[in-house]
Amino acid sequence: MKLRKVSVAIATGLTLSLTLAACGGDSGSDSGGGKDKITVGIKFDQPGLGLKTPEGKYTGFDVDVATYVAKELGYEAKDIVWKQAPSAERENLIRNGDVDFVAATYTINDKRKAEVDFAGPYFLAHQDLLVRTDETGITKPEDLNSKKLCSVTGSTSAQNVKEKLAPKADLQEFGGYSECLTGLENKAVDALTTDDSILAGFAAQKEHQGKFKLAGLKMSDEPYGIGLKKGDKELRDKINKALEKMQSDGSWEKFVSANFGPANYKNDPAPKITETS
C-alpha cells in the first residue's frame, strides 16, 4: 500500500512539473524573450505615431519604425506583440521585462538614461503649438500671455510654457488631447501644446485636415529613442544598426511622408545615431 502511494505521488509530481514547464515556455515565447515573438511597447492613442484603430490595427510612424527594427532583428510583422506603453509606465515595462523595447515618442534624457538604455535617436521633435488655420495672433510663445492654452492634465509641455515662456497664459488642462482639439475647434481655447510630431499627427487626421496648423516655434528639442533594458549592449547595437539602415535605404523618409505629410509638417532631417555607450 505504501509503495502504491509513493508511486502515485511521484507520478503526480512529474505531471505537475511538466505542466509548469510547458506554461513557462509559452510565457517566454509570448513575452518576446523566446524565438517566436517579440513584444514592443507603443502608444495606442497618438495618431500619426502610435494608434490602435477600432479595427484592432496599429498605425503610425513609431509603429513603422518598430516594425522595421523588428524585421531586422529577425521578426516578421505577424510575430510582433504590441503592448500599450503609457508615458508613466515605459521604464517599468522595460525593467520588468514586459517588453523587448519601447518606441513611443520616448524622448532621450539623462533622468531616463539612469533607468534604461536607448538606441537612436531616430527622430527629432520639438515642443510646439497647434492653432486654428486662421490664427494670426500667435507667432511667438509670449503671445500666449493673453490667450487660453490647452494641454492634458500634468503635461510638462504646458507647464514649460506656463512657467518659463508665457507665465500669464490661461492654462486649461483637460483629460485628453481630443478634448483640447474640440476646444480649439470651438474657440474655447486658442492653442494646444505638446511635441510637434504629436500635433502633426492630430492635424493630419481626416476629420481635422484644414482646420489646424502648427505654429512652428520649436520651443524645445525632443530626440526620440528606442528604450531597452539597461546594460543590453548587444540589443542596442543591433537596433542602432537597423535604424542606420532605415535611414540609408529611404525607409525613414517614406515613413515620415506617409504619417506626417497630410499636416504639412516640416520635420528635421533624420538625426545622427548617438546612443552607442
Domain ranges of the chain: 38-125+223-263, 127-214
Nearest to 30 by CA among 80, 69, 64, 101: 80
Domain 127-214 classification at class level? alpha beta
The residues facing 212 across adjacent strands are: 132
Q: Report pLDDT for 154.
A: 62
Could you give the residue ranges of the DSSP H alpha helices within the chain?
2-30, 61-72, 90-95, 110-113, 156-160, 177-185, 196-204, 233-248, 251-260
Give me the average pLDDT of each 10-residue run along the chain (277 residues): 45 42 38 71 93 95 98 97 92 97 94 96 95 94 92 76 87 84 94 92 85 91 96 97 98 93 83 92
Nearest to 61 by CA among 152, 130, 123: 123
For the structural domain made of 38-125+223-263, what CATH number should be given?
Answer: 3.40.190.10
pTM of the model: 0.79
Q: Report pLDDT for 208.
A: 85
**What's 175's DSSP letter?**
S
68: exposed, middle or buried (C-beta count within 10 Å: 0-12, 13-18, 19+)?
buried
- Identical fold at 38-125+223-263 and 127-214? yes
31 Cβ partners below 8 Å, 6+ apart?
37, 39, 97, 98, 100
Residues 142, 255 contacting (CB under 8 angstroms): no
Nearest to 85 by CA among 106, 115, 69: 106
The residue type found at 165 is: L
